[in-house]
Amino acid sequence: MNLVSELKFVPTTCPYCGTGCSFYLVVRDNKVLGIEPWHTPPINEGKLCQKGRYAHQFIHSKDRLSNPLVKRNGVFEEATWDEAYRLIAKRFGSFRPEEFGCLASAKASNEENYLMQKFARIVLKTNSVDHCARLCHSSTVSALSEVFGSGAMTNSILDLQESNCLFVIGSNTFEQHPLIGRRLMLARKMGAKIIYADPRRTPTARQADLYLSMYSGTDVALLNGLMHHIIENGWEDREFIESRTKGFDLLKKTVMNERYSLKSVSRLTGIPEIDLAKAAEWIAKSKPCALIYSMGITQHTVGVDNVKSVANLMMLTGNIGKRGSGVNPLRGQNNVQGACDMGCLPDVYSGYQKVADEDSREKMKLLWGVEEIAIGKGYTVTEMMNVLANEPGKIKCLYLMGENPMLSDPDLNHVRAALENIEFMVSQEIFLSETAEFADVVLPAACYAEKDGTHTNTERRVQRWRKAVDPPGMAKPDWLIICEMARLMGYGKCFSYKDESEIFDEIARATPSYHGMNYKRLEHPGALQWPCPDENHPGTQILHEKRFATKDGLGVFSAVEWQPPAEVTDPEYPLILTTGRCIWHWHTGTMTRRSKNLDSEVKTGWVEINSRDARDLNIDDRELVRVSSRRGSIEIPAMVTEEIKQGEVFIPFHFKECPANLLTNDAVDSIAKIPEYKACAVRIEKIGVMRE
Ligand code: SF4
């Protein structure tokens, strides 16, 4: 028997981070056997990080959901699709629009996210639809929309390697987006300098030419200090400022205050003055310079201010609209950009068309063929949790697609209290997650390898997923589940699609930046980056080349003052906790902890503590400790290290047995409503048991 001839190689895109690497799924007899390199797509050129390399291992896990489950007397029982749908339709029909909350998913496809917000807005008549972008990059969307007119990465992954200077702040790029890290190394080989600012000496810090070891929550102070030094030395780009921007005088007045002199900023951030001066000079003089950031910048109560400050620095030095420059937010999940683009946010339809704008509302009604559509303000996910916990009975029903707030949201005791107050909850999932356990009905969904679709990576590139195998048992793609439910609830005409490509055609009609895209054009490896306004348009690699997307075409400087985190240290809680990911695991671990090779590398969480703090607390490496905040306590092994700043500790948030988010603070940015995952006060106590 010739085994090789039976193999199928199905080209698709990685389900993990927002880099959007492509590969082949190797398939035989309806089983995914492995992953092989696909060399043609431009982003990763056949290379993968460890998560991508093993992205097939969870697909056929024995505990995949394969039947609808209905909870009876507190116990899940298998049900038919018909039973589950009828129960959902009956219960959904019993609530008022303001009593619903819907959560879409940054892991699902564009088509599925588009249908989720359409279902919320025309079947449930609610704008309370949100997703986990709220928790990672809502501050990027809010801030960059205001100052540039578009809330997305300005440049492309490929052109980062043409930079002469790469300023990485609040992004552990080499661990979280390794194939973007590769571009940084290629730039460095060509002579670019890398500056890295973070409280932890991560693998990214080890590749940097200049490491700025800063305290959590001092980003605006650092950025204003750099701008202070640049203006003081006359290194700003006068021509760019005069021809492309407005608001410079106010910015100058703010940053030239003595508060942002190098001496003051050094005291606030903990970074030596000499390093601040060097960083300012490199950023201003090594054109083009690109700034790369991620959740170290966004996940703060001042997340919007942080992003505006980042934009100020790049406009000040004329580093926008050119290859190798720009403001480059690295999106965490594979389709967090797409889920935002598709309108899974309470205030916008797809393409960021405002729900409050009457013309946009009429356009959507016409396109969807309905007389009625949701009106009024919807809740963000953080607001939903607060209302559920604090005002029982106001929100009664939650409909989730692939979201796991019981591990990913801040202050998990608060989330638990919120979920316990729900009258009726439906969860579409591939595994019975910590959150799905709270549901009344669980619907088994297809994973990325079991469906067609598109998703949009961090640089606005829309790429294809291609079906390689059938879903397990009775599981179905999320888009089909939504359409079948809509049909039962009387909206069959608005949810009648032959396949995913027909849904995408409607997305293209609804969404100006996707107008020129269709499945045929997206067949091309690497496909298209938005904006792509018509079918002859080649897509857009670099935004704001000649003008910004604001009404008058000018970029807007913002005067931003530094403010401390919502929770600072005191004698009871003397350390600052920051949270994040590790290279081997992904988000709440639902997929990576079921992947043999990834799980065998890192089996549980840890708390990183500086060796001087550990000595003061008499804590040894690998010793079990108790970490407590004002919200709760966890027990976790200590990792004693020089690689984190004294006074700071770090815990990865993947692990349910030692969940970092039991400790984090749910205080949010007043505009973007993003929680402050990156700074809360904790204390550590010795327990005295060694962990092997
Ligand atoms: Fe997947 Fe991101 Fe790794 Fe690429 S860098 S293989 S997209 S996890």
> pTM for the whole thing?
0.92
The answer to whether 181 and 43 have CB atoms below 8 angstroms apart is: no
Please name the residue whose Cα sits nearest to atom 6 of ligand 1: 52
Which atom from ligand 1 is nearest to the alpha carbon of 23? 6
pLDDT band with cut points at 50, 70 and 90 for residue 438: very high
Distance 224 CA to ligand 1 centre (A): 33
pLDDT band with cut points at 50, 70 and 90 for residue 406: confident
Report the pLDDT value the prediction gives residue 589, as an integer from 0 to 100: 84
Which atom from ligand 1 is nearest to the alpha carbon of 49? 3
Which atom from ligand 1 is nearest to the alpha carbon of 334? 7
Question: What percentage of the chain carries pLDDT values higher than 70?
Answer: 99
- Please report which helix (H) or strand (E) contains residue 621, including its range: none
Report the pLDDT value the prediction gives residue 669, as an integer from 0 to 100: 80
3-state secondary structure (DSSP) of residue 48: coil
Pocket test for ligand 1, best of 12, 19, 53, 107 (most atoms within 8 A of CB): 19
pLDDT for 410 beyond 90? no
Token pair 């039973």: residue: 83
Distance 7 CA to ligand 1 centre (A): 24
Please name the residue whose Cα sits nearest to atom 2 of ligand 1: 17
pLDDT band with cut points at 50, 70 and 90 for residue 3: low
- H/E/C letters for each residue in 466-498? CCCCCCCCCCECHHHHHHHHHHHHHHHHHHCCC
What average pLDDT does the segment 501-522 reach?
Answer: 96
Q: Is 541 exposed, middle or buried (0-12, 13-18, 19+ CB in 10 A)?
A: middle
Q: Is 13 in the pocket of ligand 1 (CB under 6 A)?
A: no
User: What digits encode the pLDDT tens for the residues 166-193?
Assistant: 999 999 999 999 999 999 999 999 999 9
User: What digits encode the pLDDT tens for the residues 565-624?
Assistant: 888 899 999 999 999 888 888 888 888 998 999 989 889 999 999 999 999 999 999 999
User: What digits encode the pLDDT tens for the residues 5-23?
Assistant: 589 999 999 999 999 999 9
Q: State the chain's mean pLDDT as an integer.
A: 93
What average pLDDT does the segment 457-483 reach?
Answer: 96
How many CA atoms does the CB half-sphere of 80 hold within 13 Å? 3
Give the residue from 81, 119, 80 showing the smallest Cα distance to 100.
119
Report the pLDDT value the prediction gives residue 685, as an integer from 0 to 100: 94
Which atom from ligand 1 is nearest to the alpha carbon of 16? 8
Domains in the chain with CATH codes: 69-135+334-441+480-518 (3.40.50.740), 154-329 (3.40.228.10), 575-690 (2.40.40.20)
Which atom from ligand 1 is nearest to the alpha carbon of 15? 1
Report the pLDDT value the prediction gives residue 580, as an integer from 0 to 100: 87
Distance 52 CA to ligand 1 centre (A): 5
Q: Is 21 in the pocket of ligand 1 (CB under 6 A)?
A: yes
Residue count of the chain, please give it.
692
Q: Is 461 in the pocket of ligand 1 (CB under 6 A)?
A: no
Give the residue from 482, 481, 475 showing the smallest Cα distance to 431.
475
Question: What percentage of the chain carries pLDDT values higher than 90?
Answer: 82
Which residues are 32's β-sheet partners? 27
